[in-house]
Amino acid sequence: MRTRRMRKVAAALLSVLMLTTLMVFIAPSGAGACGYGKWYLPEGYTGGNFDTYILAQNPNDCEAKIKVRFMTDTGVTEPVEYEMKPLSRLTIKVNDIKGLEDANVSTMVEQLEGSGIVVERAMYFTYEDGKAGGSDSIGANQTSNSWYLAEGYTGEGFDTYILVMNPNEQVAHIEAKFITRPTTSGTGGIEPNYIVKKYDIDPMRRLTIHVDEIPGLEDTEVSTEIFSVPAGAGEGETAPGVVAERSMYFNYLGVNGGHCSIGAPASSNHWYLPEGRTAGEYDTYVLVMNPNSTRTHIDASFMVPANNAGGGREMKPHDPPDSTPETEPVSNKIVRKEFILEPFERYTIAVDKIEGLESTDVATMIQSCAASTEEGAGGECGNPVVVERAMYFTRGNNGDGHNTIGATMKREYWLLAEGYTAEKFDTWVLVMNPNASDVKVRITYLKPEGEPIVKDYEVKGLSRLTIPVDEIPGLEATEVSSKIQVLGTVDGRGAACEYGIIAERAMYFEYNGIVGGHCSLGVGEY
Q: Left if phi > 0, otherwise alpha if psi is -120 to 50, otherwise beta: which for 216?
A: left
Q: Where are the beta strands (DSSP E) in 218-268?
A: 223-229, 243-252, 255-262
From the first residue on, what is the mean pLDDT of each consecutive set of 10 residues in the chain (526 residues)? Answer: 35 35 38 76 92 97 95 86 97 96 90 95 94 94 93 97 88 96 78 94 88 97 97 77 93 95 94 96 97 95 70 42 40 86 96 94 94 52 92 84 97 97 97 96 96 96 95 98 98 94 97 96 89
Q: Round the CA-based radius of gyration of the chain to a whole number and report it.
A: 22
SS3 for 325?
coil
Closest by alpha carbon to 150, among 251, 77, 244, 235? 244
Beta bridge partners of 227: 146, 175
SS3 for 202?
coil
Residue 337 burial (CB < 10 Å; 0-12/13-18/19+)? Answer: middle
**pLDDT score of 333:** 83
Measured CA to CA, the distance from residue 98 to residue 286 in angstroms comes to 41
Measured CA to CA, the distance from residue 448 to residue 409 in angstroms comes to 30
Find how far residue 337's CA is from the centre of its chain: 24
Measured CA to CA, the distance from residue 512 to residue 48 in angstroms comes to 14
Please provide the size of the chain in residues.
526
- For residue 22, give the DSSP letter: I
Closest by alpha carbon to 470, among 505, 522, 520? 505
Residue 325 burial (CB < 10 Å; 0-12/13-18/19+)? Answer: exposed
SS3 for 306?
helix
Beta bridge partners of 264: 148
Q: How far from 440 is each of 2, 21, 46, 227, 431, CA to CA, in Å? A: 45, 22, 42, 41, 11
SS3 for 189?
coil
**pLDDT score of 31:** 41
Cβ–Cβ under 8 Å, residues 457 and 443: yes
Closest by alpha carbon to 287, among 224, 348, 369, 246? 348
- For residue 474, give the DSSP letter: T
| Dihedrals phi, psi of 308, to nearest 5 degrees | 50, 50
Please name the residue ranges forming H helices in 68-143. Answer: none
Closest by alpha carbon to 416, among 513, 288, 524, 313? 524
Find how far residue 496's CA is from the centre of its chain: 25
Measured CA to CA, the distance from residue 68 to residue 57 in angstroms comes to 14
3-state helix vs strand vs coil in the chain, percent to 5: 5, 50, 40
β-strand 523-525 against 243-252: which pairing, if any? Answer: unpaired
Measured from the Cβ of residue 400, the count of other Cβ atoms closer than 10 Å reads 28
**pLDDT score of 74:** 81
Measured CA to CA, the distance from residue 329 to residue 500 in angstroms comes to 24
Cβ–Cβ under 8 Å, residues 343 and 295: yes
Q: How far from 483 is each of 60, 290, 316, CA to CA, in Å? A: 10, 33, 27
Measured CA to CA, the distance from residue 368 to residue 297 in angstroms comes to 6
Cβ–Cβ under 8 Å, residues 442 and 456: yes
Measured from the Cβ of residue 95, the count of other Cβ atoms closer than 10 Å reads 17
Beta bridge partners of 450: 447
Host H or E run for residue 7 = helix 4-8
**pLDDT score of 72:** 85
**pLDDT score of 397:** 62
SS3 readout for 144-187? ECEEEECCCECCCCEEEEEEEEECCCCCEEEEEEEECCCEECCC
Measured CA to CA, the distance from residue 81 to residue 52 in angstroms comes to 18
